[in-house]
Structure 1
Amino acid sequence: MSVEPLSTRFVLPPAVEAERVHAVDQLYLLDSPPEDRFARVTSMARCALGVPMAAVSLIAADRQWFKQADGLDLDGSIPREQTICQATIARSYDEDLSPLLVIEDTRRSEFAELPAIRAEGGIRFYAGYPLYGPNGHAVGTFCVYDTQPRTFDAGQRRTFVELAAWAERELQSTDDLERAAAVQRQLLPSPLAELPGYTVHALCVPAYAVGGDFYDHYPVPGGVVFTLADVMGKGLAAAILAATVRSALRGASRAVERSGAESDIADAVTAVARQISDDLSSTDSFVTLVHMMLHTGEGLLDYVDAGHGFAVHIRSDGSVAQLRGDGLPLGVSPEDAWTSRRIRLEPGESVILASDGVLDLVSDGCDVRPALQFVAGCTDPAELIGRIRGLSGAQQPLDDVTLVAVRREPL
């Protein structure tokens, strides 16, 4: 009597498998570098359960890829049909079966002919549990192995399932971060389609998946508003506050425009500071920013520097001057107010706004002179953005890297 191959016994319906593989892809983890948060789970499993091997893996369409594999001699992935985990995944879709699969002696199981089991010193004990993505599909497995047959008592099974839940939370937090990063990228403005006489380039590279920097620009009657802001801190907490600042500043700027009075961009900054004062105080945060209004017809540039410190004017003769600004960051003093200053951007001149992360790339972060020299050597905004992008790609940034470059084209 012929025996059905393992690769066909554990096949899900095509529609279900397609959705499951899509859920794996949405985690953006396949072939990613090792991470300590998964190593902590596998290390704890080996210690608590007394097993020599533990792993967190994703099950793709044709392979099992190991995000973390302790005690296993692997190159990263093995063909899916050569794994016991294909059964763990398939069982998770059968409501009549427990998701926990324990095989006390693999050589006395239907998997006895798998290479990892037949090999000398191969796997003789297996315990696996499916890991579910946020959409409910089984995307991977948490497994422990031994080279000797053994059993798991009720307490060990509970411990194993709790460790699997920990690994699953880490997978799902990865998805949450990627979704947050995607939203943050979508909140960055689209390139200005038409701005006759001017060229604008911008860049934002978070140090982590998400960051506290942002830039913004949008047309208003008579010109364009530009903003570059840096919320204290990094990661998701800073990103939440950055989104709040961006939204508040856009709303305040448009309210000032609709007021009908002689508009001053400082009024918008002051209004935002009042609006988010309680939020910044309760989170012990502050925000530095440069907020600018470019009157495109005359080349006049009104700006407010709220404790930011690196906004520079590249003049037509090649000299570089920092834009003067003595305002405090938002969140330092709830009763503070800001004032605007004005310069003229002549044909062939540029203004550059940069975050601390840019300074870290081109100087020691304390002395701005190397940064000024670096900027002066890039009169073309596209070249400047390209060089900063290259530097941030060559070394892991310690801080979010954000840059806005506006050039008035020569006549």
Structure 2
Amino acid sequence: MPESFLFATWAGGGAVPPVLSIARALRERGHDVRVLADTSLHEEVAAAGAEPIAWTTAPQGDAGDPAKDVIKDFEARTPLGAFARLRDRIVCGPAADYARDTLAELRARPADVLVAEHMLLGALTAGEAAGIPVASLVTTLYPFPTEGAPPPGPGLAPAEGALGRLRDRVVTGLILRPWEKGLPALNAARVASGLAPVDSVVGAFDRVDRLLVLSPRALDYPGRRFPAHVRHVGPRLDDPAWAADLELPAGDAPLVLVGLSSSFMNQHALLERIAEALGTLPVRGLLTTGPAVDPATVRAPGNVLVTAAAPHSVALRHAAVTVTHAGHGTAVKSLAAGVPLVCVPLGRDQAEVARHVEVAGAGLTVGRGASPRTIAHAVARVLREPSYRREARRLAAEIAAETATDRAVAEIEALTTRAIAKD
């Protein structure tokens, strides 16, 4: 029987396509699907077959345009400063606005289940206040501390021995503490929604029926233990709606796919250094700039084709290596295709993703300031040493098994039975 689902998302760059992939899958199964989203995303929402609904008081942004980006984390001087912008401009600061808009939509047109990108604590608050089942979507590796793994964020290697465990306890405290500066704003949103205050911002992320991690369990650490409401449902491998047709560079040399952030992260200079590096190697380069960078402004040698966009899932069938900022979407698509990586993290969750790729043996990491020579050396090494492709193919087989059925859709549809039981 068709059910009604209200999604809530924001202009979060690479977090958008996985959320809309689930919306599309539910719509294709005959359900009614609406998506509360920034107006800059409405074309993508419509392309997924869902009905776009605009935020009215919550922030409106466009991650592809630095002037319209809400967070502007590219202006931050430190990782802590970048985190504070996310906390204060999306997660906690405007939580009351997100809650107000979400509750207004639910009251005007009730839904059976609310599905929200996990950073929208205000939308999750509204679902709790409305008393309907709520699913939260994590579009990267599980981002909170757990037993059996180093604290996520800084890209630490797994701990060894007593000193390593001490390091993890200390770093966990350092990671959790800055969240609490957002507690007054979050609790103001909760009280305005008719809910009791909470003691912890991080604890509020768990006030959902299901927290669905759209990431391969195979990429996470084997001994890591998760809360009971957390489900790894596998990655979404769809290309974004704005991906163009595929054009490959001429020749038959190994193909290196280059893809940095789809949002603005001051990546222009790095794109040119990567292009210069590929110019010194016997390879073909396909460099996709994404919406945030004009491809006409990127200088590149003759063996590198620069384009605004390409369907990565198709290009990866031809690729030997991917050079990426280690955004979760690009990294996981590459691994799903059995393609190893050279990671150049720029910020956000990227150091963590790059570390997991390295620990899995499926790629290398170089610093964001790496020279063309250093980048070229890393690409040549991944091309030369068969272990990287072997481990990428191992992960590809595990990802294929995880995504053989649509676990995310199954988990969300199962929540409707709870709604029916409550009625």
Higher helix share: 2
Structure 1 and Structure 2 fold alike (TM over 0.5): no
Q: Structure 1 length as normaliser, TM-score?
A: 0.25
Higher strand share: 1
- The structure with the larger Rg is 1
